Amino acid sequence: MASRLFGIDLGGTKIEGAVIDPASPDRALTRLRVPTEGSRGYAHVLGQVSKLVGMLEIDSGVRRPRRIGFGTPGVTDPSTGVLKNSNTLCLNGRRLREDLARVLGCEPHIANDANCFALAESLFGAGRGRGVVFGLILGTGCGGGVVVGGRVLGGLHGIAGEWGHNPLRAERTPCYCGRRGCIETVIAGPALERYYREHSGANRRMPEIVARAAEGDRAARSTLARLRSKFAEAIAAVINILDPDAVVIGGGVGNIDLLYAEETRRAVLKHTFNHELRTEFLRPTLGDSAGVFGAALLSAASRS
C-alpha cells in the first residue's frame, strides 16, 4: 500500500492531515485535524502531529508510508532543516525535520505552505497541464511557490518564490523583515486596509472596501487602483524572470475580481519585457484543501 500518500498541514491553530490515493489525488481517503496548541510548547506540537498520524492510520486502514509530506508556515533551511520565520513561534529555530523523523519513524519532506498550495494547484487544480506555474498567496501576507514540471523549486536557501519581499519602486514602508517597500507592505490585505484608513479615516476590511468601490467610494476606488498598479509591477518582475505559463492567485485578496481583469493585464504588460502577455492569471480551484493535498503530493514528488 505504498501508493497511499500522507500529507500534514501544520498550521498555527490546527494541524490537518490527509491520506490520498495518487490515482485520485483531489479527493482525500481520510481527512482529520487536531489543534496545534503551540502555546504548550514544541514537544506538545510534535506530540499532536504524532497523534494525528496515528489517527490517520486507524481511520484509513493504511499504515504510515516511509515518506510523509509537511506544509508549514515559514521556511525550512535546506542545509540544516532548521525552521525560521514561522508564525507558530515555538517551531522557529527547531530541527523540525530531524525531530519529526524521530517521533514518527518516517522521512519527512517539508515545504513552505505556499509551496504546497502551488504544487497542489499546479498538479490537480487550476494550473493542471501547465509546465511552469507560479502559485501565490495574497492575503494577510504575500507568499509564493514555483512549480516546474510537477516539482516544487525549493531553492538554495529555501526561499524560491518569496516574491512578497521584493521591493516596489517609490515605496518605503518598513517591513517586519527589516527592509523597506516590500510588496507585502503594499498589497497584502492589511496594507491595503491601512491605505484605505489613511484616505477615508474609516476602518474597513477588504471585502467591504471592494463593495464600497462599486458604489463610488473614492478612497475605496483609489485603494483598488493602487492594488492594480502595484500588483502589476510586482508580478511583472516575476514574469520577467520566470515567465510562467500560469499564475494561480490564492488568499483573501486573490478573490478580488479586478486582479483577473483585462485592465490589470494591460498594466502588467507595461512592466513586462515583451510586446504581449499570454500568461494566464487563474483562480485556485482546490479551496482550503490545497495545503494538505500539496503536502501529501510533496512526499510523492520528492521520490527519486
List interacting residues with Zn ion (CB under 5 A): 165, 175, 177, 179, 182
Q: Is 77 helix (H, G, I), strand (E, B) or coil?
A: coil
- The minimum distance between CB 227 and Zn ion, in angstroms, equals 18
Give the angle 296-115-3 at the CA atoms, nearest 5°. 20
Find, among 34, 103, 106, the residue nearest to 63 by Cα: 106
- Measured from the CB atom, the residue of 46 and 168 that comes closer to Zn ion is 168
- Measured from the CB atom, the residue of 25 and 143 that comes closer to Zn ion is 143
- Measured from the CB atom, the residue of 142 and 210 that comes closer to Zn ion is 142
The Cα-based distances of 240 to 57, 131, 236, 237, 279 in angstroms read 45, 16, 6, 5, 11
Give CA–CA dist 125/131, Å, rounded. 13
Q: What is the DSSP string of 13-73?
A: SEEEEEEE-TTSTTSEEEEEEEE--GGG-HHHHHHHHHHHHHHHHHHHT-PPPSEEEEEES
- Measured from the CB atom, the residue of 40 and 179 that comes closer to Zn ion is 179
- Measured from the CB atom, the residue of 7 and 164 that comes closer to Zn ion is 164
Give CA–CA dist 224/213, Å, rounded. 8
